Chains A and B, each alone.
Chain A
């Protein structure tokens, strides 16, 4: 009886882990798209079509803190940030449509927009 309980609990742990790995693979394997949104607190600040945008860098301010965003060769990333952890900079170029690049301290998210947003709007 006791052994069965721990077997079940171990199985639950393994199941969670396997599901996590499967989720990771799904996110990593999602292909990139063309349109990119820069979002703060659910509000789209900027929107770019990466295939048409020329190489550029610009700053976005949040209170006293600054994020520098770089677009180069059809890719986008945070090239610099004034937050303590710099996680967004270390995240590198935005590559997966499933996984946005996030700066938690400055409430900033770069993500691929849904390609067929009109269809989605109609579908509700």
Chain B
């Protein structure tokens, strides 16, 4: 991080764009994997490997930018614009939580931040869903989302951890 120059350099923008692109590709590939669980909101969320990485390597507003662009483009690719509301509120919760967590959890324990981030993501989704549907009963999905969020978050977190330790000296991003 070049502290002097607060403006974004072209290289930084290119890196962020590349991260967004990688996340999008992962997202599209994941769409092809059939989801065995019939509950809305439950999925692996492999694209969040990139999110977790970005949270630990970029400034807050840069992380928000990459994730929001990805969500928007992802909605374009899969054609489900209703999902946008849920993704957006989930991501806001998740990112705010993880950006705070990054202050207390170091890179060697990313999986903890990832699990908590996933649970926060599900919480945001539930809040959006109960606001849209105006049914309190929808919260009964919450435990299922939490369990899936813990497992998916653990998986993506461990993936990110492996990636980071391997990327460390190779890429200047």
Contacts and interface: CB of A to CB of B under 8 A. Distances in A.
B126 to A, nearest CB: 12
Interface in B67-95: 78-80, 82-83, 86
Contacts of A9: 105, 109, 112, 116
* Band of interface residues on A: 35 or more
Contacts of B135: 39, 42, 100, 109, 111
A5 B133 CA distance: 39
B137 interface: yes
Contact of A16 (B79, B83, B129, B150): B150
Given A13-B112, A100-B137, A84 B80 contact: yes
Contacts of A39: 135
B150 A13 contact: yes
B54 interface: no
A22 interface: yes
A68 interface: no
B39 interface: yes
Task: Bin chain B's interface residue count.
Answer: 20 to 34
Contacts of B116: 9, 12-13, 16
Interface stretch (B9-17, B139-147, B164-172): B139-147
B38 interface: yes
A105 B79 CA distance: 12
A42 B137 contact: no
B24 to A, nearest CB: 18
B104 interface: yes
Contact of A99 (B104, B109, B132, B140): B140
A41 interface: yes
Interface in A9-29: 9-10, 12-13, 16-17, 19-24, 26-27
Interface of B: 38-40, 78-80, 82-83, 86, 104-105, 109, 112, 115-116, 119, 129, 132-135, 137-138, 140-144, 146-147, 149-150
